[in-house]
Amino acid sequence: MSCHALKVNDLSVWFETDSGRRQVVDHISFSINAGESTGLVGESGCGKTMTALAILGLLPTSGVGVSAASIEINGKDISSLNAAQRRAVLGRDIAMIFQQPGTALDPVFTIGHQISAVYRRHFGGSKKHLWQIMLDSLEAVGFSRAEKIASAYPHQLSGGMRQLAMIAMATVCNPVVIIADESTTALDNSTKSLILKQLERLQLQHKTAILLISHDLAMVRQSCRNVLVMYCGRLLERTDCQSLYSHAQHPYSAGLLSCIPQVSANRPPRISAIPGQVPSATDLPSGCHFAPRCIRVKPQCQQSVPHFDSEDDRAVACFRPLS
């Protein structure tokens, strides 16, 4: 049990609205081992970001409800911490890389200042020591002239370089867990690949656990060992990446896979898409939430919720899984 770098147990998030409760994360449980990457995939509005924010405890307190049996980092429960205790954990044990590197960095401070501020907050140290630590972290993400980058302001860097600086900031304290929320979505393919490579390298070095949130299965495949498929706040499938790509079990996972356009020398067949769209959290269909869009739907799907085994390595919440 203690071998899990991150273990989330029975996490739920909901919004309190005038028209009642809107469940956005619905009793999910998962765990990530040290040194492993897990992808959390699903369409926008499936509760991926809410899951991340709930783990970090960054959700606003008014209008939003969060409950969890436990959220453990290296066996230590962080779900019951108060605000001050949580701040001590954020950045040191668990760090987040956001989607927009442009807005996640403060434009009035240099990159170096912002990175060393994170380290100083948790470990302190002399100015010289901080500076060295900061340079090391910049070099670790692949900058060969770290000093120059350190003295630059965010707007002087390109989007890709800013995102790397964000990664340097997230890794400066050697956290146990990094959550990357769509952190390469806004970038070009080429930059995206390079950044994922750097993240992978860091992970190997420091045995960090990474939760990679994305709607892009192609990217998750590139850099994750395990994958969780999420839809309307529920986990639908958990498996390792290889088997997901060779034979996805849940029709939703299969549908997501078929959406990815492929580059090939010969003209590829017409792309196929999942019909319909994600239902809004205010009127979720009963039974399996995916049933109305599913091609393999049967009457049972609309009446009862398929069981999702939270202990097994491979699990699928479906009455008629593909095999």
Partner 1 sequence: MSTPTPPTKPPLLEVRNLSLSFHQQEQVAIDRVSFSITAGSTLGLVGASGAGKSSIARAIMRLIKPDSGEILFKGKNIFMMNSQQMMATRQRMQLVFQEPFTSLSPRRTIEQSLLEPLQHFAIGDTNSRQEKTRQIIQTVGLDHDVLRRYPHQLSSGQQQRIAIARALITSPDLLIADEAVASLDVSIQAQIIQLIQSLQEELGITLLFISHDLAVIRQIANDVAVMYQGQLLEQSPADTFFSKPNHPYSKTLLSFTNNKAPTSLPVENWRLDRGRTTAETTSNCVFARSCQVKMPICDQLEPASHQIQYRNQHPLGPHYVKCHLYEEVNTNDT
By CB under 8 A, is residue 264 in contact with partner 1?
Answer: yes
Among 188, 309, 312, 313, binds partner 1 (CB under 8 A): 188
Helices (H) and strands (E) in the chain, counts: 12, 12
Interface with partner 1 by CB under 8 A: which range of 64-72, 84-92, 257-265, 313-321?
Answer: 257-265
We find the least distance from the C-beta atom of residue 306 to partner 1, in angstroms, to be 21
In one letter, which amino acid is 307?
H
String marking each residue 14-43 x if it binds partner 1 according to CB under 8 A = -----------------------------x
Among 61, 83, 267, 323, binds partner 1 (CB under 8 A): 267
We find the least distance from the C-beta atom of residue 186 to partner 1, in angstroms, to be 9
CB-based contacts of 148, cutoff 8 Å, min separation 6: none
| Distances from the Cα of 269 to the Cα of 256, 260, 262, 276, 308, angstroms | 16, 12, 9, 21, 34
We find the least distance from the C-beta atom of residue 156 to partner 1, in angstroms, to be 11
We find the least distance from the C-beta atom of residue 185 to partner 1, in angstroms, to be 9
Among 70, 100, 110, 222, binds partner 1 (CB under 8 A): 222
Kindly state the helix (H) or strand (E) to which residue 72 belongs, with its residue range.
strand 70-73
Q: With beta carbons less than 8 A apart as the criterion, state whether 17 and 281 touch.
A: no
The CA-to-CA distance between both ends of the chain, in Å, stands at 30
Residue 79 or residue 98: which is nearer to partner 1 going by CB?
98
Tell me how crowded residue 298 is: count the other CB atoms within 10 A of its CB: 11
String marking each residue 190-209 x if it binds partner 1 according to CB under 8 A = xxxxx-xx---x--------
Residue 132 or residue 277: which is nearer to partner 1 going by CB?
277
Number of residues located near partner 1, criterion CB under 8 A: 50
Residue 67 or residue 277: which is nearer to partner 1 going by CB?
277
List, as own/partner pairs, every contact residues 289-293 make where C-beta atoms lie below 8 angstroms and the sequence separation is at least 24, other chains included: 289/231, 289/232, 289/233, 289/234, 290/231, 290/232, 290/236, 290/250, 290/251, 290/252, 293/252, 293/255
The residues in 70-129 that bind partner 1, with binding defined as CB under 8 A, are: none
The residues in 270-309 that bind partner 1, with binding defined as CB under 8 A, are: 270-275, 277-278
We find the least distance from the C-beta atom of residue 272 to partner 1, in angstroms, to be 7
- Environment class of 166 (CB within 10 Å of its CB; exposed 0-12, middle 13-18, buried 19+): buried
Residue 114 or residue 253: which is nearer to partner 1 going by CB?
253
By CB under 8 A, is residue 145 in contact with partner 1?
Answer: yes
By CB under 8 A, is residue 140 in contact with partner 1?
Answer: no
Among 61, 62, 262, 323, binds partner 1 (CB under 8 A): 262
Backbone torsion region of residue 298, taken as left when φ is above 0, otherwise alpha when ψ lies between -120 and 50, otherwise beta: beta
Per-position DSSP letters for 20-68, written without gaps between them: EEEEEEEEEEEEEETT-EEEEE--TTSSHHHHHHHHHT-S-SSSEEEE-
Interface with partner 1 by CB under 8 A: which range of 27-35, 54-62, 109-117, 135-143?
Answer: 135-143
Q: With beta carbons less than 8 A apart as the criterion, state whether 304 and 291 touch.
A: no
Give me Rg for the CA atoms of the chain: 20
Query: What are the residues binding partner 1 (CB under 8 A)?
Result: 43-45, 141-145, 158-161, 164, 188-194, 196-197, 201, 215-218, 221-222, 255-256, 258-268, 270-275, 277-278
